[in-house]
């Protein structure tokens, strides 16, 4: 039950963070090329910086937002990040329709791979 509460808080925080930028939906990273996960991570960092940085703390991105949760402390897995970004929750808006599937996958890959690592 406690983990569910943390997941909900994380999702809420990610959504709040996502509303902080004007990244739009035009960026198109592809994780199907050679070096896919590193490309997804690089593209995900771009999506994060455009949409999430204003609300979330994530050391790798140099962000110190305080509206959403500190992602370095939460260290969410990829599925949790994806769910939060797609659906929103609490003060965080849903990004389904604002970010495309590739962008959501890329930002989830990035956050889940760097949170708590720096």
All structural domains of the chain with their residue ranges:
2-114
Q: Which residue shows structure tokens 């960092």? A: 45
pLDDT grade for 40, boundaries at 50, 70 and 90: confident
| CB of 60 closer than 8 Å to CB of 114 | yes
Decide if 108 contacts 82 (C-beta within 8 A). Answer: yes
Q: Taking the complete model, does pTM exceed 0.75, yes or no? A: no
3-state helix, strand, coil in the chain (%, to 5): 55, 10, 40
Question: What superfamily does domain 2-114 belong to in CATH?
Answer: Cytochrome c-like domain (1.10.760.10)
Residue 105 has pLDDT above 50, yes or no: yes
Q: List, for residues 69-90, the tens digit of each pLDDT value.
A: 999 999 999 999 999 999 998 8
């Amino acid at each position: 039950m406690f983990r569910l509460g943390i997941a909900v808080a994380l999702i809420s925080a990610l959504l709040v963070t996502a509303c902080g930028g004007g990244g739009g939906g035009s960026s198109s990273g592809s994780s199907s090329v050679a070096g896919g996960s590193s490309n997804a991570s690089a593209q995900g960092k771009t999506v994060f910086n455009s949409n999430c940085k204003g609300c979330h703390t994530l050391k790798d991105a140099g962000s110190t937002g305080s509206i959403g949760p500190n992602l370095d402390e939460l260290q969410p897995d990829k599925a949790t990040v994806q769910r939060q970004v797609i659906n929103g929750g609490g003060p965080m808006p849903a990004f389904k329709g604002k970010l495309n599937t590739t962008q959501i996958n890329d930002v989830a890959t990035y956050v889940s791979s760097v949170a708590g690592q720096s």
